[in-house]
Amino acid sequence: MRVDHSDFGRCHSFVIRHFRGADKRSTVELRLISEMRSNGEDSWTPAPVPDTNSLAKVAAAAKECTACPLYRRATQTVFGEGPTRATMFLIGEQPGDYEDVAGKPFVGPAGKILNRALEEAGINRDGVYVTNAVKHFKWEPRGKRRIHQKPSARDIAACRPWLEAELRLVEPKLVVALGSTAGQTIFGSSFRVMKERGKILSSRLAGKVVATVHPSSLLRQPDEASREREYKRFVADLRVALKAAETE
Ligand code: URA
């Protein structure tokens, strides 16, 4: 179902049912809708998640996704990766330049710092499920470079059914939201990661959620001292997540 402006209300009722399997709209969803309206982002299709309990089938269907225009510029869909029954589930923002080419999440510079921090926090990356809120790389050309662009409310909303399917099928004990896009995908646009980081939170999507900064923010620190300080805080947040994942 391709949606245009005149279909807006009807589409949103469809999306809400699709997202939730229920009739009631949550505050998060209402806010998302109103943001999309004010941004004029009203041409999109909810991601067509197949009715299956197989994560492999969902991943295969995601490869063909054209729900929002991001697929046109991206090399490929970058779906989540990790054990189907992982206890811990990490959500980033969207694939970057490296991930877009490799077809795997968090394999570039942000992935390297994430791997180091996970190891230091005592978490084995091979044992966790790693994915992104948005599954296509959003970028704009600048000379020969592809410059990352932040995903919009439309991009996140169109892609959200994939994330919901991953969460439903993996059923993790704990979700780690890496950065504000992941946090806002779970809790809505008023979520402030710097205020909520390192706490054990709860949402309809996941019983336990710990939010922290995005690993790429560590790479943008102005000097060595702040890089080191922020890296330590990041590892501390991951330790909180590990402890929460290990307790009932
Ligand atoms: N940043 C993200 O949010 N996700 C990736 O997979 C890579 C970089």
- Give pLDDT tens digits for 99-139: 999 999 999 999 999 999 999 999 999 999 999 999 999 99
Distance in Å, CA 215 to ligand 1 centroid: 9
The overall average pLDDT reported for the chain is: 88
pLDDT tens column, 189-245: 999 999 999 999 999 999 999 999 999 999 999 999 999 999 999 999 999 999 999
Distance in Å, CA 23 to ligand 1 centroid: 33
Helix (H, G, I), strand (E, B) or coil at 116: helix
Atom from ligand 1 closest to the CA of residue 214: 3
pLDDT band of residue 29 (cuts 50, 70, 90) is low
Q: Is the Cβ atom of 95 under 6 angstroms away from ligand 1?
A: yes
pLDDT band of residue 16 (cuts 50, 70, 90) is very low
- 73: DSSP letter: T
Dist. CA 171–CA 163, nearest whole Å: 12
Atom from ligand 1 closest to the CA of residue 179: 3
Q: Is the Cβ atom of 184 under 6 angstroms away from ligand 1?
A: no
pLDDT at 39: 59
Cβ-proximal residues to 31 (8 Å cutoff; 6+ apart), any chain: 188, 189, 190
Dist. CA 238–CA 79, nearest whole Å: 22
For 12, 153, 154, 187, the CA distances from 37, given in Å and listed in that order, are: 11, 10, 10, 19
- Contact, 205 vs 29, CB < 8 A? no
Instruction: Output the CA torsion sign for 218, 219, 223, 225.
Output: positive
Q: Is 156 exposed, middle or buried (0-12, 13-18, 19+ CB in 10 A)?
A: buried
Distance in Å, CA 100 to ligand 1 centroid: 10
Distance in Å, CA 166 to ligand 1 centroid: 17
CATH 3.40.470.10 fits 48-246, yes or no: yes
Atom from ligand 1 closest to the CA of residue 93: 3
Dist. CA 153–CA 241, nearest whole Å: 27
Q: Is the Cβ atom of 94 under 6 angstroms away from ligand 1?
A: yes
Cβ-proximal residues to 195 (8 Å cutoff; 6+ apart), any chain: none
Residue 140 has pLDDT above 90, yes or no: yes
Q: Is the Cβ atom of 215 under 6 angstroms away from ligand 1?
A: no
Q: Is the Cβ atom of 96 under 6 angstroms away from ligand 1?
A: yes
Q: Is the Cβ atom of 110 under 6 angstroms away from ligand 1?
A: yes
Atom from ligand 1 closest to the CA of residue 98: 7
Q: What are the tokens at 162?
A: 């994939």
Q: Is the Cβ atom of 92 under 6 angstroms away from ligand 1?
A: yes
pLDDT at 45: 77
